[in-house]
Structures are given as structure tokens and as C-alpha cells.
A and B are shown apart, each in its own frame.
Chain A
Amino acid sequence: MIAGADLRAEGVWFSYPGREPALRGVDVEIGAGQFVALVGQNGSGKTTLAKHFNGLLRPGRGRILVDGQEIAERQTADLASTIGYCYQNPDHQIFATTVAEEIEFGPRNLGVSAEEVVARTGRLLDLVNLRDEAERYPFSLGRGQRQKLAVASVLAMEPRILIVDEPTTGLDWQGGAAMMRLMRELHASGRTIVIITHDMNIVAEFAERAIVMAGGRIVVDGTPAGVFSDDDALREADLRVPQAFQITRRRPDLFDGQPLTVDEARRALLSRSTVAAGDLS
């Protein structure tokens, strides 16, 4: 178990130069080991807020605390071994000539010992299933693999907190599922995971907690089930609940409650007879 990492924003206001405020008084706390989805449309402030946590952006008003300490004095690059931020477009961070080199670069730059670098790289290659591709040129890989490489190279700094921007956008179903399985594994090993997403299916299936943003404010913050039932908040955020929930919430009698995911809903239906149910995935 990796202990005690948390993120806190206190009364944060932020505006991009010459524009309306992108964050309007945001207060939020994310405890160690949580799996949180930061949800909203483009322009809701979700990415802006996330970028505050590793110092890419600095609040106009208010404070940001990581692991209990204010980060106002600390540089992004120095925070990389506490909090890792993975960009939506993997191609923006890949620059090495082989997959292994890409992963090694961060820790080597940090002065980690040669043996430790090799060991870490090996573990990460296995984790993201790129062991066989270790000597390949990164841009010869498919998009999903490059995305996993990007995550691995951020993880090489061994951060306790991981923020991933749009893990599934641009990927097909299998690609997205593989990415989320990786997120789940990372969470299981004790890391705090924050994913920025607008995919409500992902939220339903993976997140313990969903923080929904609109217009620079948090409009609702709770479990996916709680959030999906808050019609007013969802309307304000202009988001739709997953199809499965659209169906189950109208007929809880048929589904034995209001399951959020299609797998749960299907199982609920099939258990109404003696036919055994198998899983969708």
C-alpha cells in the first residue's frame, strides 16, 4: 500500500490571459488511493483544474496543496515524482528513439542508479505489455500502444498520484478497455488515480467518485450512481447518462434496482430466469 497522497484545491480562481474565468472558486479534496473521474464538456474547467495540481497552471486566487503542502513554490518538473500528468496526445511527449529509452529517460535524468533504472523500465514494460517492443521506434507503434508508452514513461518517475487526460479518446473500444484495465491495475497497487474524461460509460464502470464540472465550477461530486441521478446537475453540465442507466432508471422493477452499466443490467435481467448469465466483455 502506498500511503498518504492527497490533492486539495481551496477557493481556486483562474483565468487565461484576457479571458473570462475558467475556474470560479473551486474547492475539492481528493484522498489517497481514490479513483476519481473529473467529468465535463470541453471548456468546463476540468482540464484547467487538473493542470493546477501539478503546477502547470497557477491559481489567480486560492491555493493548491499536494500531499498536505502548498505547491506555490514548487516547479512542475520537481513535482513529477509525486504527481504524474499524462497528456491526451501521446505524441506530444515522445521523443526517444526506442520505447525503452523513452521510459528510462525520466529516472535517469533524476539521477536514479543505473540498476534501478533498468529494473524500473523492465517492470513498466511488462505492466503496459510492451516488453516485445522495447527496442522499437515509438512512432512505429499504434495509437493505443503509444498512449500506454506515455503512461509508462510518466510512471517511471514513480509518482503516487496519476492524472490521465482523456485516456480513451481517439481509441476504439478494445483500445479504451485496455487502457482502463491498466488504470485499474495502477489503482489496485495503491495509487491515487484521477482521469479526465467525458465518457460516461467509463465513469459508470470504473470510477469510485465523479466530480462533474461546468462553467468553471463543480456542479456535483459523488458516486457515479449519485451523480447520474442528479438531473439538475447533469443538465447544467450538459451531459447524458449512459444508455444502460437511461433504461434501468425508468424500470427499476425489471432490473432489480438501477444498475449503471450494461453488464450489471444484463445480469439483472437474465437472473429473472434460470438461464446463466455471462459477461459482456
Chain B
Amino acid sequence: MRLAELSDVGFRYRDTTESALDGVSLTIDDGEVIGLAGPTGAGKTTLCMALVGLVPHATGGVLAGSVRIGGRESASSSLGELLTPLDADRALVAVTFQDPESQIVGMTVEEDLAFGAENLGVRRDEIRRRIDESLDFVRLGHLREAFPYALSGGQKQRVAIAAALVMRPRLLILDEPTSELDPHGRAEIFELIGRLASTGDYAVVVVEHALDDLAAAVDRLIILEAGRIVFDDRPDHVLRKVDRLIEIGVRPPDASVLGLAAEQVGLIAPTDRAFVTPDELLEAFPR
């Protein structure tokens, strides 16, 4: 199913002169795993919020072009209408945010997980079942009664993801889930993303400003610069454009940079694919 369709979308926040988004067109279908990267201010968060309808309904501002979420036009629906599930208490889209703390609404982990589903009017026993499953999936079952302030940053992000999963979204958007985390936390999140992707149940959009972990985790990589989409392709195609990525301000994985250099000096055969992980490159070197 076509989950989201943006056509020539432009957006400007209130009281600003620059566009946060400019001529953005893209589609998202069931089951896709998409990475979204770009420097600060490129419009990544704005794009995420447009996919949820928060832009423009919760943020104000001027939206141009067409944003269709689950077949509904964002501009002509209210936020409530946009977020109304199409079927079987399955939310269309759920989102997690960069700041681990301020997205946890509930007094305890369990309360937070229930909140979204409560709003959707899901039956109580169904909510309980989903909470059990989600806690299990993010491996935080032992923290069911915990207070948010007692959790680490990584745990908070996992709680946020679990809360999103309880809404059973068709499209799950993770906005910079690892920026405030340490390497441990980051590894936990990407491990979780890997498992989410392999269920095939969700379309996932992950936003990062670094590519090292992201490029290997997704099937499709979108790079934003100043509100415009510069690349939208497979990671191993996007990562060949090392110089352009550097110019945009997105750091390519070391493996991609070194792979290109190795190609240039004839150490490895010319190819049309970039190297995404160190192992890939090491495999390709002559013995």
C-alpha cells in the first residue's frame, strides 16, 4: 500500500523567510526501510513531521504542494482525521523524537506505552497484549513499572519506540534516535531497527546525521540539503558520491571513501557500487 506521497512539497515555518522544505517529492510504500540524512537544518525533522501531519497542523506555517498520508490529503484534513486509523486499530504513522526525555508522556513505562493506543480507542485487553509484545520486542519487560527519570537515554528511546509499536503503525518514523546516545545506546537502537526491518510489518524511516550505521541498516537512502532532496537511491549508489556528500556536510562512511580511493589507484576493479561496511571493502582487496 502507498503509505505516503509527497508531491513538490514546500514548507516555511511562521515568521521565517527561508524554506524548511523546497520541492520535495517522494513516496513511501509498505515495508520499505528508508534512511534520511543531512546536516542540521536540512529539513529532516520537518519532513518527518510533515509525514505525521504535525507539520503544518501542530507547528503552524505555510505548506505548499501535496502531502498525502494513507490516501488523505494533509492540507484539507485535521490532525485528528489524518491520524485516524484506516483499519483494525492500526495507526497509520507513529514517530519518535530526538530528545529521549520529552517524548515520554506517561508516569511509568507501562502508562506511556498505553497512551497512544488509549487515544485510538483500542480495547483494553488488546492494549495489554500489545504492551506485552512491545516490551518483549525492545527487551525492556523488566522495566514495566519504572519511572522515566530512572531510565538511561538508550532505554528511554527504546521505550519511545515500544510506545510507537503499541500503536501498530504502518509507518514508523525514528527522528535521530541516536544523537543523544552513547555507542552502547546506538548499537541497541540499530539492533532494534534491524529486527523491525526484518519483520516486514512496518515501513521504517530512520533519520540520522551520520551515515556509518545508517547506510548499512536501510534499503534506501535519502539525502537532504537546505530543504531539497539531493539523493534518493540505494545506499551503495548514494555513497559513491563521496565528494558531493562531503560538500553537503554529511560524513560518508570511511569504507566508502577508502573504497573509492582504492578504485582510483587501481587496487580494486572499477565498480558502480560503493562499499558500505569495512568488511565489504576488506573482502574486495587483493590478497
Q: Which residues of A contact B (CB under 8 A)?
A: 41-43, 142-144, 169-175, 198, 238-240, 242-244, 246-247, 250-251, 254, 262, 265-266, 269-270, 272-273, 275, 280-281
Across the interface, A42 reaches (CB within 8 A) one of B182, B254, B282, namely B182
Q: Are A244 and B152 in contact, CB atoms less than 8 angstroms apart?
A: no
Say what secondary structure dominates the interface of chain A. loop
Q: Are A251 and B264 in contact, CB atoms less than 8 angstroms apart?
A: no
- Best-surrounded residue of A172, A173, A281 (most CB of chain B within 10 A): A172
In the complex, what's the smallest C-beta–C-beta distance from B103 to chain A, in angstroms?
Answer: 16
> Which B residues are in CB contact (< 8 Å) with A262?
254, 257-258
Does B261 count as interface, using CB distance less than 8 angstroms? yes
Inter-chain CB contacts under 8 Å: number: 85
Q: Are B179 and A169 in contact, CB atoms less than 8 angstroms apart?
A: yes
Q: Are B246 and A280 in contact, CB atoms less than 8 angstroms apart?
A: yes
Does B210 count as interface, using CB distance less than 8 angstroms? yes
Q: Are B285 and A273 in contact, CB atoms less than 8 angstroms apart?
A: no
Closest-by-CB residue of A relative to B209 is A172
Interface residues on B, range: 20 to 34
Instruction: Write out, one digit per residue, whether chain B residues 255-271 have a CB within 8 A of any chain A CB (1) or not (0).
Output: 10110011011110000
Q: Are B257 and A280 in contact, CB atoms less than 8 angstroms apart?
A: yes
Across the interface, A247 reaches (CB within 8 A) one of B39, B180, B264, B282, namely B282
Across the interface, A242 reaches (CB within 8 A) one of B41, B180, B209, B254, namely B254
Given A41-B184, A280-B246, decide whether A266 and B278 contact each other with a Cβ distance below 8 A.
no
Q: Are B249 and A266 in contact, CB atoms less than 8 angstroms apart?
A: no
Q: Are A273 and B266 in contact, CB atoms less than 8 angstroms apart?
A: yes
Does B148 count as interface, using CB distance less than 8 angstroms? no
Given A172-B249, A175-B40, A269-B265, decide whether A244 and B183 contact each other with a Cβ distance below 8 A.
no
Q: Are B282 and A250 in contact, CB atoms less than 8 angstroms apart?
A: yes
CA distance in complex: A281, B251 (Å) = 10
Across the interface, A239 reaches (CB within 8 A) one of B183, B253, B281, B282, namely B183
Closest-by-CB residue of A relative to B282 is A250
Closest-by-CB residue of A relative to B245 is A173
Does B29 count as interface, using CB distance less than 8 angstroms? no
Q: Are B278 and A142 in contact, CB atoms less than 8 angstroms apart?
A: no
Across the interface, B254 reaches (CB within 8 A) one of A169, A250, A265, namely A265
Q: Are A169 and B180 in contact, CB atoms less than 8 angstroms apart?
A: yes
Across the interface, A243 reaches (CB within 8 A) one of B41, B209, B249, B254, namely B254
Closest-by-CB residue of B relative to A237 is B183
> Which A residues are in CB contact (< 8 Å) with B250?
173
The 6 closest A-B pairs by CB, nearest first: A243-B254, A244-B254, A273-B265, A262-B254, A172-B209, A172-B40
Does B53 count as interface, using CB distance less than 8 angstroms? no
Closest-by-CB residue of B relative to A44 is B182
Does B177 count as interface, using CB distance less than 8 angstroms? no
CA distance in complex: A142, B267 (Å) = 43
CA distance in complex: A133, B285 (Å) = 50
In the complex, what's the smallest C-beta–C-beta distance from A247 to chain B, in angstroms?
Answer: 5
Does B30 count as interface, using CB distance less than 8 angstroms? no
> Which B residues are in CB contact (< 8 Å) with A281?
246
> Which B residues are in CB contact (< 8 Å) with A280?
246, 257
Given A251-B285, A270-B265, decide whether A198 and B183 contact each other with a Cβ distance below 8 A.
yes
> Which B residues are in CB contact (< 8 Å) with A243?
212, 253-255, 278
Q: Are A240 and B282 in contact, CB atoms less than 8 angstroms apart?
A: no
Does B43 count as interface, using CB distance less than 8 angstroms? no
Across the interface, A172 reaches (CB within 8 A) one of B39, B153, B180, B281, namely B39
In chain B, positions 1-51 with a C-beta closer than 8 Å to chain A are 39-41
Closest-by-CB residue of A relative to B153 is A42
Q: Are B180 and A170 in contact, CB atoms less than 8 angstroms apart?
A: yes
- Best-surrounded residue of B254, B261, B267 (most CB of chain A within 10 A): B254
